[in-house]
Amino acid sequence: MNIPFLDFKHMHSQIRPEIIQAFADVYDSYWYINGTEVSRFEKHYANFNDTEYAVGVSNGLDALTLSLKVLGIGPGDEVVVPIHTYIATVLSISHVGATPVFVEPSLRTYNIDIHQLEKVVTSRTKAIIPVHLYGQACEMEAIVTFAQKYGLYVVEDNAQAHGSHYNGRKTGSWGIVNAASFYPGKNLGALGDAGVITTNDSHLAKEVIKLRNYGSDKKYVNDIIGYNMRLDEMQAAFLTVKLNYIDDWNEERKEIASWYTSGLASLNDITIPYIVNKSDHVFHLYVILVDKRDQLQNYLKDQGIHTLVHYPIPPHLQSAYNHLGLKKGTFPRAEMLADKCLSLPLYPGLTKDLVDQVIEVIYDFYE
């Protein structure tokens, strides 16, 4: 048996002719940066995400960094962020010179615990970055209410939840500016690095367009000190093709997740995903909690089933954040999740038969 953690074969063979055509069109256009493919993708993505504007950028980390930058967040400012997230969310805060202020996850959803937001607010707090982790939308109404109360910006990290929604409103459309990643393994993935910023604010959209391109929206005229954080024509063309399939692929992810859930629900040793009322979950990852995580992971691996851990070391225990002086024990929930979480294989094309085999091997382990 060999069940990979992620397999592009089903998705990419389905769209191969369209991708090859998209490649040929860009190749033959002789125009590879700042052209019509990027603006076409931006239009389609804004429409998909229910926002006025989408601005293509180089990757998810740059999308987050530019989002904070365009809001004027910098040294001396604090940004509230979940401690249980991928490190890139935190890095973006550091890259603009601001200070991350961590909040523990909810033990039901693993997203930021909305009941612990109030206690971290100071006079320096400028923004909050909710992360729709694993594909489940955060409780956005509570987060927006909290942000309004303290005059904070909301910047969503929608890297794992393209197409998800909270109470019918799309993730990536709640914040003032929002970031997403199209890293290949994300629900909507490019064939290389790519990202996007979504917003309803025309001024911020214009500023981001400048910031990503040397501070310029007119060749050789530089208004501000910008970056090179552009999305390229090739990736934009591939993304336009894949965007037509994302809703179907998300539905397929949900169906696969439901097979795992019904198969594993009666196993007391395992905590299966909990979906909060009003939240949609597009299952970027199917994450279970187990006590003997490493043993189970090795047992599965010996049977040819490949799993991953998202994520094994929380940001505060990474060497990169030594200077914050946050010792082990500071965030017991996040540390517990890092020890117990396990992501099972999940990708469009994964069959019921293979999922049943994974479930069977998990039962074997506990017998």
Ligand X SMILES: *Cc1c(COP(=O)(O)O)cnc(C)c1O
**Which listed residue (56, 60, 130, 314) binds ligand X by CB under 6 A?**
60
Is residue 239 within the footprint of ligand X (CB under 6 A)? no
Q: CB-wise, 265 or 320, nearer to ligand X?
A: 320
CB-based closest residue to ligand X: 60
Is residue 153 within the footprint of ligand X (CB under 6 A)? no
Instruction: Count CB atoms within 10 A of the CB of residue 129.
Output: 26
Q: CB-wise, 131 or 296, nearer to ligand X?
A: 131
| Distance between CA atoms of residues 137 and 175, nearest Å | 13
Q: CB-wise, 171 or 361, nearer to ligand X?
A: 171
- Cα Rg of the chain (Å, integer): 21
Give the helix/strand (H/E) hosting 79: strand 78-82
Residue 311, preceding peptide bond in cis (omega within 30° of 0)? yes
Query: Considering the complex, what minimum distance in angstroms separates the CB of residue 60 from ligand X?
Result: 2
**Which listed residue (49, 160, 164, 199) binds ligand X by CB under 6 A?**
160
- Quote the Cα angle for 144-149-155, to 5°: 35
Is residue 235 within the footprint of ligand X (CB under 6 A)? no
Query: Considering the complex, what minimum distance in angstroms separates the CB of residue 254 from ligand X?
Result: 19
Query: Considering the complex, what minimum distance in angstroms separates the CB of residue 96 from ligand X?
Result: 15
Token pair in block for residue 325: 């002086």
From 30-38, 56-64, 135-143, 353-361, give the range in contact with ligand X by CB under 6 A: 56-64
From 59-67, 253-261, 322-330, 333-341, give the range in contact with ligand X by CB under 6 A: 59-67
Pick out residues in 271-330 that bind ligand X (CB under 6 A). Answer: none
Is residue 65 within the footprint of ligand X (CB under 6 A)? no
Query: Considering the complex, what minimum distance in angstroms separates the CB of residue 2 from ligand X?
Result: 26
Q: CB-wise, 338 or 361, nearer to ligand X?
A: 338
Q: CB-wise, 341 or 361, nearer to ligand X?
A: 341
**Which listed residue (102, 110, 183, 238) binds ligand X by CB under 6 A?**
183
| Distance between CA atoms of residues 161 and 131, nearest Å | 9
Rounded (10°) CA dihedral 28, 31, 37, 38: 160
- Quote the Cα angle for 340-341-342, to 5°: 120
* Phi, then psi, of 144 in degrees rounded to 5: -65, -40
Token pair in block for residue 222: 């530089």
Pick out residues in 77-136 that bind ligand X (CB under 6 A). Answer: 85-86, 88-89, 131
Query: Considering the complex, what minimum distance in angstroms separates the CB of residue 105 from ligand X?
Result: 13
Q: CB-wise, 86 or 331, nearer to ligand X?
A: 86
Asked if 249 and 49 count as a contact pair (C-beta separation under 8 A), the reply is no
Is residue 164 within the footprint of ligand X (CB under 6 A)? no
Pure H helices in the chain: 9-14, 16-29, 36-48, 60-70, 87-95, 140-150, 202-211, 233-243, 246-264, 293-302, 332-340, 352-366
Instruction: Count CB atoms within 10 A of the CB of residue 30.
Output: 7
Is residue 181 within the footprint of ligand X (CB under 6 A)? yes
Query: Considering the complex, what minimum distance in angstroms separates the CB of residue 62 from ligand X?
Result: 7
- Kindly state the number of chain residues that form the binding site for ligand X, as judged by CB under 6 A: 15
Is residue 42 within the footprint of ligand X (CB under 6 A)? no
Token pair in block for residue 74: 């910098």
Sheet holding 99-103, edge to edge: 99-103, 78-82, 125-128, 153-154
Q: Which residues bind ligand X (CB under 6 A)?
A: 59-61, 85-86, 88-89, 131, 157, 159-160, 181, 183, 193, 195
